[in-house]
Amino acid sequence: MAVSIDSLLPYQPFKAIYVLTVLLYTLARFPLWLLSLLPRSLRQHSSWSLRQAFMVRLVKTFTYHSSRVRSFPAWSLQPGSEKEKFERILPSTKDIYRGVLDDKEIKPVEIGGTWFPAVYGPGDPKRKGVILHFHGGAFVEGDGRMQTFGYAAHLLTSHTAAWVLSVQYRTSSNPGCRFPAALQDAVTAYQSLLDRGIPASSIVVSGDSAGGNMAAGFLRYIEDNPGILPKPRAALLWCPWVYPAIAMQPYSCSGNPRYETDFLNDVFAEWGIKTYASPPVDPTNPYVSPRDHPFKCEGVPMWIQFGSLEILAADIVKFADGMRSIEGNEVELHEDEDTPHDIFLVGGLLGFQDKAEKMAAAMGAWLKPKLQ
């Protein structure tokens, strides 16, 4: 039986050899990258700065190689540098895990969450409402903590005056964490806010990229199970990954006309969907790939954002149009010109801070009146 190179890369010593080789090779290419990107006409987009063009290429390279070796942080519920801002959240004992969440193999477990800018305190007159956020990372990466989510958390807290609870849900790169593990965790986190005495009318559900997919799935779950949970006040979907099923096909990213202006790549996307929707899960399931499955979401205004140069742009627009087509739904679609995927999460890293701030300001103007 033939053994492929990719099947060996996640294991030592092959992983270490590969990482060292790629690191040395990439460092050697830095000067060539910079020289090739000096003329604006040779950058991925002529409006981009040298820093933006270089960082998008670097992040694409990093996500490609880290995905090949299946590099992801070990699951841990220790507080770490977040200290008192981190909390552990037990699954609810209430009968709230029904339907698609009632899985024979995957059961609710204890999860974590990080508060921004501080632990929730109802007596603070400067803050109103709580944003419950699910981080991106193709379902396989991220933990929603300070190091990876701090920039995005600042955008939310500075433009909404709300508290933010960033959920450390189970990523599918960990064994036994396929769908519906992450969605179970979303329900667990939401119920924990209700148990604190926070009314649903003061909670906003939010998610970026794969987390945006989760936010959509959470809203669908509430609609599919009337009365099981009260509806949140609003929802924020930042570059939501609404059609992961396409990543089961070859060249799902590299065959996209926006491939050169984004950092997403085939290996990263394929790793995400093949672990998140591993058998017996159907990747076209409406909870996994909601693009072609709009649903009624009356009473929950939805903000959907995307970048005009990102690979997911057409899918996001199609999803938004479908949601708008249903009577009673309120959908605000916000397009950021000349930006790649998820500047909400990585705008600071990529050099798109100005556009990220303007985007967050527009979201704040939309959301604040709803949290009065």
Secondary structure of 153-212 in HEC code, one letter for each residue: HHHHHHHHCCEEEEEECCCCCCCCCCCCHHHHHHHHHHHHHHHCCCCHHHEEEEEECHHH
Distance CA 195, CA 102 (A): 21
Pairing relationship of beta strands 203-208 and 234-238 according to DSSP bridges: parallel
108: its two tokens: 């609710």
The two three-digit tokens of residue 226, written as one number: 């009337």
| pLDDT, position 3 | 60
Helix (H, G, I), strand (E, B), or coil: what is residue 370?
A: helix
Residue 249: per-residue pLDDT:
94
Per-residue confidence (pLDDT) for residue 201, from 0 to 100: 97
- The pLDDT score that the predictor gives to residue 2 is 55
pLDDT of residue 223: 97
**3-class secondary-structure state, position 249:** coil
In a 3-state reduction of DSSP, which class is residue 330? Answer: coil
pLDDT at 133: 98
Tens-binned pLDDT, residue by residue, of the chain (372 aa): 456 778 888 888 989 999 999 999 999 999 999 999 999 999 999 999 999 999 999 999 999 999 999 987 778 999 999 999 999 999 999 999 999 999 999 999 999 999 999 999 887 777 889 999 999 999 999 999 999 999 999 999 999 999 999 999 999 999 999 999 999 999 999 999 999 999 999 999 999 999 999 999 999 999 999 999 999 999 999 999 999 999 999 999 999 999 999 999 999 999 999 999 999 999 999 999 999 999 999 999 999 999 999 999 999 999 999 999 999 999 999 999 999 999 999 999 999 999 999 999 999 999 999 997
60 near 33, Cβ under 8 Å? no
User: Rounded CA gap, 310 and 153, in Å?
Assistant: 22
- pLDDT score of 177: 96
Per-residue CA distances from 12 to 7, 63, 69, 104, 172 (Å)? 12, 19, 10, 33, 21
